[in-house]
Structure 1
Amino acid sequence: MKLLIITAINVFEKDVKKILKKSGINTFSYTDIKGFRDSTEESVGSNWFASEMNESESLMFYSFADKEKTDLLFKYANEFNETQKTKSKIHVVILNVEKSN
């Protein structure tokens, strides 16, 4: 059993849901979250934003799933990310679950 955690900007909500379904993961939860990025260390020329502290409307998905399904999801998420022209990506973390009931 694996714990799957996905974060993405709100714009990718439908895409993440499609990837979950395509991977055979039909049971999951998700919630709104605030993404945060501190750009104070970046040079002025590389910082596209007007301020140094940036927040974005994001989502976090999570689910318990079999290894085969999480492996598929990781593959599909990477394929999705490779086609994106923006800096924002779907971020996937897969953790081992030692015990659950």
Structure 2
Amino acid sequence: MKLLLITAVEEFEKDVINILKNSGVRSFSYQSVKGFKNDKNEMNNWFGKDDIAIDSLLFTVFSEYNCVDSIYKNINEFNSNQETVSQIHIVTINSEDENFK
């Protein structure tokens, strides 16, 4: 099992949901967050412009290993087709212990 954290601007909400559903994810949660970038050199484009809070979403996904490659592939494809600076960002964390049975 892997834990995926995905951030995106609110405008990408339906896109992220479709990517997750089409990648075989069975369940996920998400919430509104304010994205803020404090330094241009760190985490390039993780959130929008400096000193401006951006309305964003944070998706929390516990996924089987077989879904992760598809999620990354679909997010990378989505990002490569964007003409805007905003992109969908994803990080994966291995889960050693789990109570999902």
Question: What range is the shorter-chain TM-score in?
Answer: 0.7 to 0.9
Q: Report which of the two has the higher share of strand.
A: 1
**Whole-angstrom distance in 1 between the partners of 2:94 and 2:36:** 27
**Whole-angstrom distance in 2 between the partners of 1:60 and 1:32:** 6
Q: Counterparts in 2 of 1:38-57, with a 5 A limit?
A: 38=38, 53-57=51-55
Structure number with greater Rg is 1
CA RMSD of aligned residues (A): 1.7
Q: Of 55, 59, 62, which aligns to 2:60?
A: 62
Match of 2:69 in 1: 71
**Whole-angstrom distance in 2 between the partners of 1:3 and 1:54:** 28
**Whole-angstrom distance in 2 between the partners of 1:68 and 1:89:** 24
Q: Structure 2 length as normaliser, TM-score?
A: 0.84
**Whole-angstrom distance in 2 between the partners of 1:73 and 1:40:** 27
Structure 2: state its 5+ residue gaps.
42-48
State how many pairs are aligned: 92
Q: Is the 8 A contact 1:8 1:89 kept in 2?
A: yes
Moved more, 59-68 or 75-84: 59-68
Q: Once the two structures are aligned, what percentage of the paired residues are identical?
A: 46
Give the superposition deviation at 1:26: 2.8
Structure 1: state its 5+ residue gaps.
42-48
**Whole-angstrom distance in 1 between the partners of 2:98 and 2:79:** 31
